[in-house]
Amino acid sequence: MGQTSGHQERSEKPEVAPSKVMEAEIEVQNKKEETKEVKAKNQKLISVFGLADLKNEAIGLYNLGQSCCLNSLLQVFLMNIHFTRILRRITVPPSPAQRRSNVPYQMLLLLEKMQSGKCKAVGPTELACCLSEHRVELFVQHDAAQLFLTLWNLLKKQMKKPELVKELRDLYTICIQEHVACQKCSFEVKSKSTMLTLPLPVLDANSHRLKTLEDCLQYFFHPEELTGQNMCFCQQCGRKTPFLQSMKLVHLPQTLTLHLKRFCFERSSRTHKLSHSLPFPQELDLRQVLAESQCQADDNEKATWHYELFAVVAHSGSASCGHYCAYIRSLTDCKWYCFNDSEVCQVSWDDVKCTYGRSNLYWRETAYLLFYMKKHPQQPWPGLSGCL
119 noted as active-site residue: no
Say how far apart CA 151 and CA 71 lie, in whole Å.
Answer: 12
Q: Nearest-CA neighbor of 92 among 159, 156, 165, 151?
A: 159
Catalytic residue among 68, 182, 234, 338: 68
DSSP designation for 365: -
Q: Nearest-CA neighbor of 130 among 161, 160, 162, 108?
A: 108
Beta strands 224-226; 232-234: pairing state: unpaired
Say how far apart CA 274 and CA 163 lie, in whole Å.
Answer: 40
Q: Which residues fall within 8 angstroms of residue 16, CB to CB, at 6 or more apart?
A: none
264 noted as active-site residue: no
User: 297, 250 in Cβ contact below 8 A?
Assistant: yes
- End-to-end Cα separation, the chain, in angstroms: 93
Q: Which residues fall within 8 angstroms of residue 345, CB to CB, at 6 or more apart?
A: 337, 338
Catalytic residue among 130, 295, 323, 325: 323
The catalytic residue positions are 68, 323
